[in-house]
A and B are shown apart, each in its own frame.
Chain A
């Protein structure tokens, strides 16, 4: 037994530090979620102190559960995370397979492909919403305007004018409107995180066994069958990694939502926590605990799904 003591003693600082690191914030959140605790209240000044006498039981949870934005926030969290994951994984696999072949300028193309990942999230959001997605001044507005002008000019053309006069005027989409702001967030985060997926998949593709491919060619497998039966199973684990990491990161998206719509109609759980935390720490903590539960459900669900479909 004594020869076990020293290693344990030496491990102890790291383990204790890790426990403090994780347990202290978690237990504080748990504690706050069961008391009345606000930052500012003139009529009930005793609520501004985190005292056990302010015990509220599950009152905060009930309050959050019945908040009109709570279910919207959960749905939105799932919509945003799910869509981003599906899009980045699909695009990532496509791009990685394409640039895995040799072609002139491959090095430059790879560097360019990775670069969105180095843009700061807030900058990314500002650029997209103002310069690209803006219905008047952004690329979107300009493009829609250009197409409309082209159609108008074609309407007066001899012979085919009648055909184009039946076409409708195109309307630019406002991505700051309530529902569409979630799509804007999905688009910009997908753009930023696809390089991450590409990078991981590309590394994995380079370790793919070439003789297996040759064996498959001789066995009569076409390009699609090789992809389906060799490449995709080979990418199973990297896909699982990309999905898990992105699920962790995107469940806590905040900056993009703040910049695109300031939470107008498009909130996710972190944004809701942020709104509560302006004053009601108890409710914010309860929402935080809901977020932890949601994250765990998502994680278990994803692990099962990926394990089943890809590992055969």
Chain B
């Protein structure tokens, strides 16, 4: 079990309120991702759940039990830190066994659990090495191993992949996803990378300055962002925002359209402009288009085959059905 409920939880450091009172429910077995820009309070929220920070007010409830005053080790949660936080003087085996040793488990059961975790995480060959002798990805796996041997009711990950290179990150992302399917344990995952959030989450929680902007499945957030902030944060490249007359035509203060929803038309688009920088990814090409009279630049996703040079004129055809409309407060107009 691992149903986590935050009931009007808030956190202040001295005078500054980092997290205003906030409600959130994470269902048992769910993979929840907290995303938001740097400094928005993601780590703080995770540490509140773990018990490493005391809530200034409100309640943390795990499986219908109020654990606000319960010490971190008694909450049955395991955490994986961004810096891995492995114990440098112990071998991998001792690192993974440490929580079991603290729980005074018998040696034979300890060995069995360590071997099992090492098997799942492909660590069997490294059990007698020290953390200093491992690569970043291996260290991350040890940290995860140390978390899973405890069989916690939920896992908390604080940007576990941000120290890895891009290729490894994609690999570890899949591994964590597979681990979740296998263990079916609640996982809360903090990241500021919206791609990680989109690919891994059952439920995304978008935070800004300690306030929850929207909670929903990745596609809900992509299709119906509740406000301009979420619309700009989810999706890559960023959504194009257009104000002024064009927005007024749609009866909105501002409209937004994703780069993938604008087609390159030959001579018959609603909009037109001049190509600036093009980014070729192979499968896709992103054009940054200037002088459209709509906004500074409009980003357009085109097929990888389309080839245009800087300075070429380009006609654009936006898909009318997926234009997002926002009012003066930045809220979505249905």
Contact = CB atoms under 8 A, between A and B. Distances in A.
Contacts of A221: 73, 98, 102
Nearest to B91: A312
B89 A209 contact: no
A219 B98 contact: yes
Contact of A218 (B79, B87, B103): B79
Contact of B83 (A211, A229, A233): A211
Contacts of B99: 219-220
A309 to B, nearest CB: 12
A311 B130 CA distance: 12
A150 interface: no
Interface string A203-219: 00000010110111111
B85 to A, nearest CB: 4
Contacts of A234: 89
Given A218-B73, A218-B77, A220-B103, A211 B90 contact: no
A-side binding surface: helix, strand, loop or mixed? helix
B90 A218 contact: no
Contact of A312 (B72, B85, B89): B89
Interface residues of A, number: 19
Interface in A202-248: 209, 211-212, 214-221, 225, 229-230, 233-234, 236
Contacts of B103: 220
B72 A217 contact: yes
A234 B89 CA distance: 8
Q: Which bracket fits the contact residues of B?
A: 20 to 34
A191 B87 CA distance: 34
A218 B87 CA distance: 13
Contacts of B87: 212, 215-216, 229-230
Interface centre among A211, A214, A219, A221 (most CB of B within 10 A): A219
Given A220-B103, A221-B102, A312-B89, A215 B73 contact: no
Given A218-B77, A225-B102, A212 B89 contact: no
B146 interface: yes
B102 A214 contact: no
Given A217-B73, A218-B78, A219-B73, A212 B85 contact: yes
A209 B102 contact: no
A214 B89 contact: no
Given A212-B85, A229-B87, A229-B98, A217 B52 contact: yes
Contact of A214 (B77, B81, B98, B150): B81
Contacts of B72: 214, 217-218
Nearest to A214: B52
Contacts of B86: 212
Contacts of A214: 52, 72, 79, 81, 85
B259 to A, nearest CB: 38
B83 A209 contact: yes
B50 interface: yes
Contacts of B52: 214, 217-218
Nearest to A212: B85
A95 to B, nearest CB: 23
Nearest to B77: A218
A291 to B, nearest CB: 36
Nearest to B149: A219
Interface in B54-76: 72-73
Contacts of A211: 81, 83, 85
Interface in B1-50: 50
Nearest to B75: A218
B326 to A, nearest CB: 40
A220 B99 CA distance: 6
A221 B77 CA distance: 14
Contact of B79 (A209, A212, A215, A236): A215
A215 B156 CA distance: 12
Interface string A49-89: 00000000000000000000000000000000000000000
B89 A219 contact: no
A219 B81 contact: no
Nearest to A217: B72
B85 A209 contact: yes
B81 A220 contact: no
Contacts of A233: 88-89
A206 B297 CA distance: 49
Contact of B89 (A215, A216, A217, A311): A311
13 contacts: A211-B83, A212-B87, A212-B88, A215-B81, A215-B146, A216-B87, A216-B98, A220-B73, A220-B103, A221-B98, A229-B87, A311-B89, A312-B89
Top 3 A-B pairs, shortest CB-CB distance: A233-B89, A219-B99, A220-B102
Given A212-B88, A217-B73, A221-B98, 20 more contacts: A209-B83, A211-B85, A214-B52, A214-B72, A214-B79, A214-B81, A215-B85, A215-B87, A218-B72, A218-B73, A218-B79, A219-B99, A219-B102, A219-B146, A220-B73, A220-B99, A220-B103, A221-B73, A229-B87, A312-B90
